[in-house]
Amino acid sequence: MSLLTVRYLIDFAYLLAIVLFILALRWLSSPATARRGVLAGEIGAAVAVLATLANPQIVAYKWILVALLIGAIVGMPLGLVPMTAVPQRTALSHAFGALSAALIGISEYYVREPHITKFGMAEISLEVIIGGLSFTGSLIAAGKLQEVLPQRPITYRGQNFVSLSVLGLAVILALILILHPGDAYLFPFVVVVSLLFGVLLVTPIGGADMPTVISLLNSYVGLSAALLGFVLNNKVLIVAGALDGSSGFILSVIMCRAMNRSFTNVMFGAFGQVQSSAAAVEQGRTVRSATPEDAAAILSAASSVIVAPGYGMAVAQAQHKVRELFDILTKRGVDVKFAIHPVAGRMPGHMNVLLAEADIPYDKLLDMDAANPEFPHADVALVIGANDVTNPAARTDAGSPIYGMPILDVDKARTVMVIKRSLSPGFAGIDNPLYYLDKTLMLFGDAKTFVGDIVRELAGGSSA
């Protein structure tokens, strides 16, 4: 086969991979076809990798196979983490993706230098800056989510100024390089400064804001892959990068909308975003609390129950106990459904994955728009470790930081029961008037323990 024929075959293999990647995402449109989508993605990736190995430019196969093997060995455990560790796993894999994109850009620079064109230098600098900042930014995000780093936002005076100056420095260095591609000694500084900027960008942001940050980093990583495709004239990188980039972008827009926070605010790194400390709980208001026995009695008397899970369920890893509760109530003829707020938990779709893990059928999971009309007909709304996403202040209190955020209408149900450990606020740091309603019963305790107690009670003290 002539070299040209091989090149054409590789190009067509890449096209096939692209088509399979697009189909993979299309098939995620419903859980019924989603696994087929993964298969399509896998085949596409295999086609792309095999076609690349056929590239006649490649001479050093042995080490590549070793590197692939190491990648597989590292990747396996990262594919087998428990569901509760998915947020930090995602951040970590963004870091790997960004690292790889940045390293390729760096090595391409040193291969071409000093015969690099201005245009090529511009592409590579942009690619390396975005790759570099995404790498360190994702590492910091992973550290915060894994609670290796402090979760609270770390802020100081003049922070915006410092961060922006660092970014400016990276850009200026890159511009000098573009004008004088010979000044190779500047290139390491571009790399280091963009790494530094990634740290400065993410450190000030609170741990609970990490999901939005991760999605944005996702879209940066996609962008850097696409830029790499421009540098190397490789269309499969451009397409995969564009798909990844738009996915991250859309998810962050969805999150921002669901939190009613401005997108530009997050887009520009949510600089200096300071967590408002817990609002003073108004005095003189009382809450009614209840025991697992009371809760069990109310639940078994209900004919329809809607469960509104939140971050607390994830933290407590209560999903399996919730499944037991679902089973026992369903067996008694109670209609049990789940209402999933788009930003419940700490990443998009968080609750869905946890509940699916616990074997709760997905047709019982309603998204917010489907669930809200159901609450007025429900006997009990059972809130498990959710707070902000059920806060009626979002509807009425124009002064509240979450004013305008769409919420789950749990307060429309006949009775509301809330499982959490205390009256302390959630992510947004604000008081929740829901707890002081006459129809609300507070069930104080850890979500896993409390749900377990209810289940034991319902089973007549005999089970678990």
Asked if 1 touches other proteins (CB under 8 A), the answer is no
When the beta carbons of 336 and 418 are compared against other proteins, the nearer one is: 336
How big is the chain by its Cα radius of gyration, in Å? 26
Asked if 192 touches other proteins (CB under 8 A), the answer is no
Contacts (Cβ under 8 Å, ≥6 apart) of 78: 89, 92, 93
What residue ranges bind ligand NAP (CB under 6 A)? 208-209, 211-212, 255, 259, 310-312, 315-316, 343-348, 350, 385-389, 419-422, 424, 426-428, 446-447
Contacts (Cβ under 8 Å, ≥6 apart) of 339: 306, 307, 308, 366, 368, 371, 372, 374, 375, 381, 408, 410
Contact assessment for residue 394 and residue 403, using Cβ atoms and an 8 Å cutoff: yes
**Could you say which of ligand NAP, other proteins, none residue 311 binds, taking C-beta under 5 to 8 angstroms by partner kind?**
ligand NAP
**Could you say which of ligand NAP, other proteins, none residue 22 binds, taking C-beta under 5 to 8 angstroms by partner kind?**
other proteins
CA distances from 240 to 18, 123, 251, 300, 397 (A): 7, 18, 17, 51, 44
Binding string, residues 360-389; x marks residues near other proteins by CB under 8 A? -xxxxx-x----------------------
Asked if 446 touches other proteins (CB under 8 A), the answer is no
The single residue among 88, 97, 209, 310 that binds other proteins, judged by CB under 8 A, is 97
Contact assessment for residue 375 and residue 408, using Cβ atoms and an 8 Å cutoff: yes
**Could you say which of other proteins, ligand NAP, none residue 89 binds, taking C-beta under 5 to 8 angstroms by partner kind?**
other proteins
- To other proteins, the closest distance from the beta carbon of 436 in angstroms equals 31
Per DSSP, the residues of 235-247 read HHHHHHHHHHHHH
**Could you say which of ligand NAP, other proteins, none residue 302 binds, taking C-beta under 5 to 8 angstroms by partner kind?**
none
Contact assessment for residue 112 and residue 121, using Cβ atoms and an 8 Å cutoff: no
> 387: helix, coil or strand?
coil
**Could you say which of ligand NAP, other proteins, none residue 315 binds, taking C-beta under 5 to 8 angstroms by partner kind?**
ligand NAP
**Could you say which of other proteins, ligand NAP, none residue 422 binds, taking C-beta under 5 to 8 angstroms by partner kind?**
ligand NAP
Asked if 76 touches other proteins (CB under 8 A), the answer is yes
Considering only residues 208 to 247 of the shown chain, the ones binding other proteins according to CB under 8 A are: 214-215, 218, 221-222, 225-226, 228-230, 232-247
- Catalytic-residue membership of 388: yes
Considering only residues 77 to 96 of the shown chain, the ones binding other proteins according to CB under 8 A are: 77-81, 83, 86, 89-90, 93-94, 96
**Could you say which of other proteins, ligand NAP, none residue 349 binds, taking C-beta under 5 to 8 angstroms by partner kind?**
other proteins
Beta strands in 300-371 (DSSP E): 304-309, 335-340, 365-367
Alpha helix ranges (H) inside 260-301: 263-267, 292-301
- To other proteins, the closest distance from the beta carbon of 271 in angstroms equals 24
| Tokens describing residue 184 | 């190779």
> 443: helix, coil or strand?
strand
- To ligand NAP, the closest distance from the beta carbon of 149 in angstroms equals 17
Asked if 3 touches other proteins (CB under 8 A), the answer is no
- To ligand NAP, the closest distance from the beta carbon of 307 in angstroms equals 13
Per DSSP, the residues of 67-123 read HHHHHHHHHHHHHS--GGGHHHHHHHHHHHHHHHHHHHHHHHHHHHTTS--HHHHHH
> 14: helix, coil or strand?
helix
- To other proteins, the closest distance from the beta carbon of 154 in angstroms equals 26
Asked if 26 touches other proteins (CB under 8 A), the answer is yes
Q: Could you report how far apart the first and last alpha carbons of the chain are, in Å?
A: 68
Catalytic residue selected from 388, 409, 431, 453:
388
- Residues with active-site annotation: 388
